A and B are shown apart, each in its own frame.
Chain A
Amino acid sequence: MAAAVGDRARPVEPGRWRGRLLTGALMLPATLWYLVLLVAPIAIVLVFSFGNRTRIGGYSPGFSFDNYANAIRSPDPFLTSLFLSVVGTALCLLVGLPLAYFIATRATKRKALLIVLLVIPFWTSFLIRTYAWLLILGPEGLAGFIKDLTGSTSFRILGTEPGVLIGLLYGYLPLMIFPLYVTLERMDRALVEASKDLGAGRWATFRQVTLPIALPGLITGSILVFIPMMGEYVIPQLLGYGQVYTVGNLLYSRFLEARNWPSGSALAMILIVIMLAVVTVYVWLTNRGRTVRNVSVV
């Protein structure tokens, strides 16, 4: 998922086919991985999207554009997913950047401990952790507390978009923090010191020195978070009570309730295209005018 663009690799001397063979052999595992686990499944979904549904559901070969024509009855699920993903990514950034900065630059002695604390919850089943939020935010938890405080009888966190956003923030925060942490950790502290010596205030230093250095990690983190959020189903269904209806819900319904694989595949292809477009625009916007174009984790 991470590719270094524009890195200056050691050039292969002309005529040295052995060097090329070595390069090819080294790239083979990654290439195979991409082909088998990424390209092939998407190709299958593409083929399915043009097919027909059998009587009992599933796929039967065919070629028609009907599924695309009928895929979207209403744009609402897409808009909801887009809203949740954009706001969710922004929230992860808002919470993740300070935390990553702190761990990378300030927490010298406890760095390892903090990282471990971030990772440990992921050793528990994701479903169980989401169910835990049902208790925390539910009528016997936070919502009940606020209801007692304000005297309102109908206050609810679960079943609303803020409730879902809390769940999304919780679930995806580490995906945002790790790329940011890695980039910030490698930052040369001398640059910050130099900036301060030259009279820049703390905010100016952060804006003009730290942030541009952190940008590759920021981009990677945003993409790592945004793309899965677009297809998220479990969190909106559990914490949103099914009231927050996303593309994930729609896909689930098409595949597993209507058992209409071709229709679901068409919907999935449309989603993939939308996500590709958004990410391409995003990367182009953030890499504009940079002499060093870099979107990498390591």
Chain B
Amino acid sequence: MAEDLDTLLRRMAQSRVHRRGFLKGSGLAGLSAMIAACSPGASASPSSAPSTASSTAPSTGASPSEAASPSPSAVAVTETEGKLFMYNWSDYVDPDNIEKFKKDFKVDTFTYDVYDSNEELLTKLQGGASGQWDIGAPTAEFVEAMVAGGFIEKIDWMKLPNAALIDPQFQNFYKDDKADLNNYHLPKDWGTTGIAIRSKDVTEDVKTWKDFFDLAPKYSGKIVIVNSPGDVFVAPLKALGYSLNSVDPKELGEARELLRGLAPHVLALDSNTYDAKLATEEAVMGLVWTGGIDDLKEKPETADTKYIIPEDGTLFWMDTWVIFKNPPHPNSAYAFLNFIHDPEVQAKETVTNRYATANTEAMKLVPQELLNNPTVFVPPDVLASGKLEGAQDVSTDPLRVEIWEEFSSSIGH
């Protein structure tokens, strides 16, 4: 019996595939191959909120000769090539402004490709994507790496009259010997990283990062943190009074101890849905960006949400426009950059995106309630105090990488 079965099986295996069987089989094989191709694991990573850490302190002291020099006698570009290829964070330019630009400058093709992180942008450029896009908006600290890699062009200030409206403390992001880098970027918007709490659950008065660490055991399992090493290091380093860009082994060692104490109490590392977690009270305290916080404040059920700029100092990020090397449509690029900093256009951007603008004229047109909102604008006295520090590109420092790997792999345990 078993032998007959064996013979039968052998016969089956040798039989030629009939046409119907072949079509069915290959159809399903093709289908499963297609599914395998789009299967989980091959897909893109989740998109993150617009910005990660970056930006230097908005204090004065820019070095003279090499600093960016927007000139009031510049002349705007009016003739474009009819197309513009943008590579940017998702939903980062007001659609109405895009339509206005297309109409005013007779641009019929405006492509808007999206990246999820600065690292993805940099990786794409390193992979040789020059000549594919005209403009983009990385976070300011990445401009250094992009210039070093030869991926962006020096800006011709003579074509951007509206650049003179930018507050110098934002334009002169890079200091001292790096000041020449300021000629490669044009500020887009800026904001802070801070603490968010549901004040009906967290009744304490949370004012500093030190408070954040002290309260972590009490709210264990209800803390959400953005999945960004540059932002996460801000908390321990500022709580200890150090620079958030420190790569000093002793200082990082102390920060590591604080992070080790925090890790077991963290619910999630989440850059995309931290506001949803705060809304359902799955998390009641968080180290977050400002995206989504205002929406929580406006809804009645979550109106107790508060966003706090810590008093022991925090990070100040800035996204900034750059022109990629060998842009296919340089005139369109300059036309757009000048257009976007037209005060009315820029004010509309601020109202829609709810991120602060660096354009002094546009600020005069922004509604007062937005100017008073700490999730959008920072009070002028806090700005002047120097408590806000911008991040440099230090996330790749080996010791930081080691500490981050240890922290991110041990949360919740």
Q: Given known contacts A127-B43, A140-B280, is B26 in contact with A298 (CB within 8 Å)?
A: yes
Pick the residue among A7, A56, A140, A171 that contacts B149 (CB under 8 A).
A56
B36 is an interface residue with CB less than 8 A from chain A: yes
Which of A130, A224, A235, A243 lies at the interface centre, i.e. has the most chain B CB atoms within 10 A of its CB?
A: A243
Shortest distance between the CB of B360 and any CB in chain A (Å): 33
Structural contact, B120 and A172, CB atoms closer than 8 A: no
Pick the residue among A139, A159, A179, A291 that contacts B268 (CB under 8 A).
A159
Shortest distance between the CB of B304 and any CB in chain A (Å): 17
Report chain A residues within 8 Å CB of B22: 298
Structural contact, B229 and A257, CB atoms closer than 8 A: yes
Q: How far apart sit A139 and B40, CA to CA, in the bound complex (Å)?
A: 24
B270 is an interface residue with CB less than 8 A from chain A: yes
A162 is an interface residue with CB less than 8 A from chain B: no
Residue of B nearest to A213 (CB): B9
Bits for A252-288, please: 1 = Cβ < 8 Å to B, else 0.
Answer: 1101111110000000000000000000000000000
Structural contact, B38 and A122, CB atoms closer than 8 A: yes
Q: What's the count of A-B pairs with C-beta under 8 Å? A: 172
Shortest distance between the CB of A146 and any CB in chain B (Å): 15
Q: How far apart sit A260 and B39, CA to CA, in the bound complex (Å)?
A: 26
Bits for A172-186, please: 1 = Cβ < 8 Å to B, else 0.
Answer: 101100110110011
B145 is an interface residue with CB less than 8 A from chain A: yes
Q: How far apart sit A259 and B119, CA to CA, in the bound complex (Å)?
A: 7
Shortest distance between the CB of A32 and any CB in chain B (Å): 17
Structural contact, B412 and A241, CB atoms closer than 8 A: yes
Residue of A nearest to B410 (CB): A245
Report chain B residues within 8 Å CB of A182: 24-25, 28-29
Structural contact, B41 and A233, CB atoms closer than 8 A: yes
Q: How far apart sit A130 and B251, CA to CA, in the bound complex (Å)?
A: 39
B60 is an interface residue with CB less than 8 A from chain A: no
Report chain A residues within 8 Å CB of B32: 174-175, 178-179, 224, 297
Structural contact, B43 and A234, CB atoms closer than 8 A: yes
Residue of B nearest to A198 (CB): B1
From A14-22, A70-78, A90-98, give the one contacting chain B: A70-78
Report chain A residues within 8 Å CB of B282: 138-139
Residue of B nearest to A290 (CB): B9
Q: Given known contacts A8-B14, A294-B13, is B29 in contact with A257 (CB within 8 Å)?
A: no
Q: How far apart sit A38 and B5, CA to CA, in the bound complex (Å)?
A: 39
Structural contact, B25 and A298, CB atoms closer than 8 A: yes
Structural contact, B270 and A175, CB atoms closer than 8 A: no
Q: How far apart sit A13 and B282, CA to CA, in the bound complex (Å)?
A: 72
Report chain B residues within 8 Å CB of A209: 5
Residue of A nearest to B281 (CB): A139
Shortest distance between the CB of B108 and any CB in chain A (Å): 29
Bits for B115-128, please: 1 = Cβ < 8 Å to A, else 0.
Answer: 00101101100100
Report chain A residues within 8 Å CB of B29: 2, 182, 297-298
Q: How far apart sit A259 and B117, CA to CA, in the bound complex (Å)?
A: 12
Interface size class of B (residues with CB under 8 A): 35 or more
Report chain B residues within 8 Å CB of A256: 45, 117, 119-120, 123
Residue of A nearest to B149 (CB): A56
Q: How far apart sit A53 and B398, CA to CA, in the bound complex (Å)?
A: 11
Shortest distance between the CB of A232 and any CB in chain B (Å): 5
Report chain B residues within 8 Å CB of A1: 33, 36
Pick the residue among B13, B39, B148, B273 that contacts A228 (CB under 8 A).
B39
B46 is an interface residue with CB less than 8 A from chain A: yes
Residue of A nearest to B4 (CB): A194
Q: How far apart sit A99 and B406, CA to CA, in the bound complex (Å)?
A: 42
Pick the residue among B21, B281, B405, B411 that contacts A253 (CB under 8 A).
B405
Bits for B1-21, please: 1 = Cβ < 8 Å to A, else 0.
Answer: 100011011101110010001
Q: How far apart sit A232 and B10, CA to CA, in the bound complex (Å)?
A: 38
Q: Given known contacts A198-B1, A228-B40, is B408 in contact with A245 (CB within 8 Å)?
A: yes
Pick the residue among B1, B117, B268 that contacts A243 (CB under 8 A).
B268
Q: How far apart sit A178 and B33, CA to CA, in the bound complex (Å)?
A: 10
Structural contact, B412 and A175, CB atoms closer than 8 A: no
Residue of B nearest to A143 (CB): B282
Structural contact, A134 and B36, CB atoms closer than 8 A: no
Structural contact, A134 and B273, CB atoms closer than 8 A: yes
Q: How far apart sit A252 and B282, CA to CA, in the bound complex (Å)?
A: 26
Q: How far apart sit A170 and B406, CA to CA, in the bound complex (Å)?
A: 30
Structural contact, B13 and A292, CB atoms closer than 8 A: yes
Q: How far apart sit A235 and B197, CA to CA, in the bound complex (Å)?
A: 27
Q: How far apart sit A172 and B411, CA to CA, in the bound complex (Å)?
A: 27
Q: How far apart sit A242 and B40, CA to CA, in the bound complex (Å)?
A: 17
Structural contact, B145 and A249, CB atoms closer than 8 A: no
Structural contact, A258 and B40, CB atoms closer than 8 A: no
Report chain A residues within 8 Å CB of B276: 134
Shortest distance between the CB of A283 and any CB in chain B (Å): 17
Q: How far apart sit A127 and B17, CA to CA, in the bound complex (Å)?
A: 38
Structural contact, B413 and A292, CB atoms closer than 8 A: no
Q: How far apart sit A189 and B276, CA to CA, in the bound complex (Å)?
A: 53
Which of A139, A188, A241 lies at the interface centre, i.e. has the most chain B CB atoms within 10 A of its CB?
A: A241
Shortest distance between the CB of A242 and any CB in chain B (Å): 4
Q: How far apart sit A159 and B22, CA to CA, in the bound complex (Å)?
A: 44
Q: How far apart sit A242 and B228, CA to CA, in the bound complex (Å)?
A: 12
Shortest distance between the CB of B138 and any CB in chain A (Å): 13
B31 is an interface residue with CB less than 8 A from chain A: yes
Shortest distance between the CB of A136 and any CB in chain B (Å): 14
Structural contact, B408 and A234, CB atoms closer than 8 A: no
B404 is an interface residue with CB less than 8 A from chain A: yes
Structural contact, B45 and A241, CB atoms closer than 8 A: no
B402 is an interface residue with CB less than 8 A from chain A: yes
Structural contact, B25 and A297, CB atoms closer than 8 A: yes
A55 is an interface residue with CB less than 8 A from chain B: yes
23 A-B contacts, Cβ less than 8 Å apart?
A1-B33, A2-B29, A8-B14, A56-B393, A57-B396, A73-B402, A130-B40, A138-B280, A171-B39, A174-B35, A175-B36, A228-B40, A229-B41, A232-B41, A241-B269, A242-B227, A245-B408, A245-B409, A249-B409, A256-B45, A292-B10, A298-B17, A298-B29
4 A-B pairs besides A8-B14, A73-B402, A159-B267 with CB distance below 8 A are A178-B28, A182-B29, A259-B119, A260-B396
